[in-house]
Every structure is written in C-alpha cells, then in structure tokens.
Structure 1
Amino acid sequence: MNSPNNTQIRIFNSILNRKNLRDNKKEIVFEYTEGRTESTKEMTSDEIQKFIDFHNQTSNISQKRNARPFRKTAFDYEQQEGNNMRRMIIGICREAFDMNTDDGKADMKRIYSCVEKLGYLKKGLNSYTYKELTTLVTQFERIGESTLKAKARKNRKDWKVSVFDDDGNEIEFDVTEFMTKTN
C-alpha cells in the first residue's frame, strides 16, 4: 500500500477548501477508502488520486467551455439534484434511526452502512446514479415514515380513550390492557 505524497495531500486539502467541503473531510475519506479509514494519511496514493482526478475533471469541464458564462447543463442539474436526494436520505436516517454523533453531526459511517443494507441495490450511497436515487429516496421515505410511526406507538405509555355520556360529560377509559398482545 503506497502512501500519498505531500503534494497529493496538499491538493486534496486545497480542493476541500475551494469547494467548501472541509467539514465533510472524514466522510469523504471514508467514502473514497470504501470504509477503511477516515484519515487522509491512511489513504493510499491511488485513493487520494481518484478524488483529485474526479474534482479536476469537473473543473476542466467548466474550463473547456471557452470562458463562456457558466450555463447549467443536464449533467449539472442531475448532479445537484442527486446531492439533494443524498441529503434527504441522510436527513431521514438521522431522524428515523437517530444516526447522529455525540456532537450532533450525521454519523456517516452508520448512514453508509444503512444504505448498503437497506438500499434496494445494496451499494454505497454515492454509487447510486441520479435515476436510481429517485427510487432510493422513495424507499427511505417509506422506511423512515414506518419507523417513526413504530417509535410513536412504542413510546406511547398510556392508552386512554375519551367518550361522552348522554349528559355530555367526558368519561376517560384506560385501555392499556387491551392494547398489549397476550397469547
């Protein structure tokens, strides 16, 4: 395993700063190392180069437009919408499964693992194409909704029902004993 050289690490950090990705550094390293590490220094030269090449390629696309004003293409739109859909999935995982770190940030290791296990194509979140993400979002919306409903039922401590008698007085009944399954 060949370690990245100092130039690669400087370029990596420069790209993170330029694209305002500094806060996501650990998650990015985790994704590019396929879950092996969160440390830049533990990345291989090839792994860090893939990141650099990808971001240089996207930079070169805009440079090849002969310095014309930037116009959004279908590719740009799909890339932006794909990122929005990924954020939605991350939000669903954080809310429904409480996938947060102690300091309140998204626990990306758990989220990536969850997507690989529950996702319909069983692959990493960033490996889904734009079209695949539309189905994945729908799937996770349903999973999240179902999970939140189950949590609400589980957390419900009292099962009280109110009814009104013939005189209009409210009568409250505790029906907890009927809500628990017995064999």
Structure 2
Amino acid sequence: MMSTTAQIKKIYTLLGKHGLRDQKDSIVLSFSAGKTTKVSRMSFNEAAALIGHLVSLDPEENSISKMRNKILAMAHEMNWTKVTGNGVHALDIEHVNNWCISKGYLKKKLDDYTYSELPKLVSQFEEVYKSYLKGV
C-alpha cells in the first residue's frame, strides 16, 4: 500500500517545521531503503516510520500524539469501531470526531485541538471512558 495523502501532507509539514525540506530527498531515500526520493512513492509503512521519526524530533508534537493516542485507545476499548472491507474491526475515527465536535469542550475535531487544549479534552474523555467501564 502506498503512502496516503494525509501522510504526505504530514511529512511535508514536519519537514518544514524542522527546517529539513532541503534534505527531503536524502531523508526519504534512507526511509525507503534506497527505493525512492519521492514521498508519494513511499510505502504506507515507510511513510509512517518517517512521520514517527519526525514527530520524535519535537517534544511538543510527541506529547500531542500521546494525548491523541490515549483518547483513541479509550475509544477503541469502548468498541468505537467499524468493520472494514476485509472484515477487520478498525477504530471509527468519524465517531471520535463526532463526539469531539458535539461533546468536546471546544466543539472541534480531535486533530484540531492544540497542545495546550488537549489535556482538558483527555480529562473530559476519561470521564466518558470511566462511565463506560461502570456500565460493563
């Protein structure tokens, strides 16, 4: 599977943020095991690895990812999933975003919450998760 449009955008954003755009070709070449210098020709897993590396360079971005992942993990535990085309249960990010828009304290999608806004959203979502656990 090839890299997604979202991954490509994220890579270019992170490269720019870290001042690495001029080194893009060599970075992509190393993360694609010498196959390509084009982000769009990276595999999904190669792009994910590059994103992970670029995120790790920024402690704030790393914290954002951890907070979002905590919410996503709790949503998965509450079975906020959908069946994909191949019969696999995957997290229903639309369900998470709909909750964030309707119940989240700032009424916006999960990815639109900033570093300073996420702790309160995580706390709010933890209350939903605790309520779910009481009902199980």
The answer as to 2:62 corresponding to 1:87 is no
> 1:135, CA displacement in angstroms?
0.8
The 4+ residue runs of structure 1 with deviation greater than 3 A are none
The answer as to 2:44 corresponding to 1:76 is no
Q: Residue deviations 1:74-107, cap 9 Å, x none? A: x8111111011111111112223x2112212101
User: Could you tell me the TM-score, scaled by structure 1's length?
Assistant: 0.46
Q: 2:115 aligns with which of 125, 130, 141?
A: 130
Residue identity over aligned pairs, in percent, reads 26
Q: Residue deviations 1:115-173, cap 9 Å, x none? A: 11111111010110111101111111111101220x23xxxxxxxxxxxxxxxxxxxxx
User: Could you tell me the TM-score, scaled by structure 2's length?
Assistant: 0.60
Q: Counterpart of 1:78 in structure 2: which amino acid?
A: E
| 8 Å CA contact 2:82, 2:89 repeated in 1 | yes
Supply the RMSD in Å over aligned alpha carbons.
3.1
| 8 Å CA contact 2:12, 2:21 repeated in 1 | no
Aligned to 1:58: 14
The structure with the largest alpha-carbon Rg is 1
Structure with the larger helix share: 2
Aligned to 1:121: 106
Higher relative contact order (CA closer than 8 Å, sequence separation 6+): 2
5 Å-filtered alignment, 1:9-158, equals: 16=3, 28=6, 52=9, 55-60=11-16, 61-63=18-20, 76-96=58-78, 98-102=79-83, 103-149=88-134, 151-152=135-136
Once residues 57 and 107 of structure 1 are traced to their aligned partners in structure 2, the CA distance between those partners, rounded to angstroms, is 25
* Structure 1 residues not aligned, in runs of 5+: 1-12, 17-21, 30-50, 67-71, 153-183
* Structure 2 residues not aligned, in runs of 5+: 24-53
Q: Counterpart of 1:100 in structure 2: which amino acid?
A: T
| 8 Å CA contact 2:81, 2:89 repeated in 1 | yes
> 1:65, CA displacement in angstroms?
9.9
Q: Counterpart of 1:116 in structure 2: which amino acid?
A: I
